[in-house]
Amino acid sequence: DAGVTQSPTHLIKTRGQQVTLRCSPISGHKSVSWYQQVLGQGPQFIFQYYEKEERGRGNFPDRFSARQFPNYSSELNVNALLLGDSALYLCASTPGLLSSYEQYFGPGTRLTVT
Amino acid sequence: RKEVEQDPGPFNVPEGATVAFNCTYSNSASQSFFWYRQDCRKEPKLLMSVYSSGNEDGRFTAQLNRASQYISLLIRDSKLSDSATYLCVVIGVTGGGNKLTFGTGTQLKVEL
């Protein structure tokens, strides 16, 4: 069975640009979460989506937005990129919303902002 | 105070050693607790869930102390392959959604 997939794997953008990252969850999983991981730090929670609705939000500015599609895939958008947005962006899927569920992570998208 | 705190290490231990990591959390209403392992430049993967009664999986033992708000991970008979960053994860429920908070991670290096 395919795991969580993310695209692209690497991305280089310049300050002020916009970026869209994509995630496909494990088949049968209905919840997708997004995380930002800066080098040397643990992942920071950005959003959780379940059944196309936002169900959790971390402490990120409004430049960050996301959505989930009927097939449960998801996109993360970041507008007006800053140098500090350079990070590994991880997507994780779970079957549902129970807090006891294991998060299955994708390989991540490494974003570099110059 | 950070919501979840871990000693970043690195912990350099010889093969066969026993090593323990602690993680403290600030939200007493937190509901679920996990240890994840992250290899260099890879995604995190679940190592084990953490329960109040404690749980053991082979060489790994996890404990939760709700009164003191900390979780621990004990690795016995360390192997070279245990070298990785260990992340504790605390999950709380707010406004109908889950909030997952990762610690900064503790780096373990097992040496010959």
Whether residue A40 and residue B104 make contact (CB cut-off 8 A), yes or no, is yes
pLDDT tens for each residue of B65-111: 999 999 999 999 999 999 999 999 998 876 657 778 999 999 999 99
Distance CA A37, CA A93 (A): 16
B84 contact partners, CB below 8 Å, separation of at least 6: B37, B38, B39, B40, B107, B108
- The pLDDT assigned to B100 comes to 84
Whether residue B35 contacts residue B73, with contact meaning beta carbons closer than 8 Å, is answered with yes
* Virtual torsion, Cα B98, B107, B47, B33, nearest 10 deg: -30
Say if strands A74-78 and A19-24 run parallel, antiparallel, or are unpaired.
antiparallel
Would you call A83 helix, strand, or coil by DSSP? Answer: helix
Outline where DSSP puts E strands in chain A: 5-7, 10-13, 19-24, 31-37, 44-50, 53-57, 64-68, 74-78, 87-94, 104-105, 109-113
CB-nearest to B102 from A42, A50, A107 is A42
Cα–Cα separations (whole angstroms), residue A12 to A21, A38, B1, B10, B82? 12, 15, 34, 31, 33
- The pLDDT assigned to B8 comes to 85
pLDDT tens for each residue of B4-44: 999 888 999 999 999 999 999 998 888 899 999 999 989 99
The alpha helices in chain B, defined as continuous H runs, are: none
Shortest alpha-carbon distance between residue B78 and chain A (Å):
23
- Name the token pair of A39: 């080098």
Whether residue B100 and residue A103 make contact (CB cut-off 8 A), yes or no, is yes
- The pLDDT assigned to B1 comes to 74
Whether residue A68 contacts residue A74, with contact meaning beta carbons closer than 8 Å, is answered with yes
Residues of A in contact with B44 (CB under 8 A): 43, 90, 103, 105
Shortest alpha-carbon distance between residue B79 and chain A (Å):
23
With CA atoms as reference, the chain A residue closest to B10 would be: A40
- B93 close contact with A: CB closer than 8 A: yes
Would you call B99 helix, strand, or coil by DSSP? Answer: strand
Share of chain B above pLDDT 70, in %: 96
Closest CA to A91 of A114, A113, A68, A61: A68
pLDDT (tens place) for every residue of chain A, 114 residues total = 689 999 999 999 999 999 999 999 999 999 999 999 999 899 999 999 999 999 888 889 999 999 999 999 999 999 999 999 999 999 999 998 877 788 899 999 999 999
Whether residue B99 contacts residue B92, with contact meaning beta carbons closer than 8 Å, is answered with yes
Q: How many CA atoms lie within 13 A of A106 on its CB side?
A: 29
Residues of B (39-78) whose Cβ lies below 8 Å from A: 42-46, 49
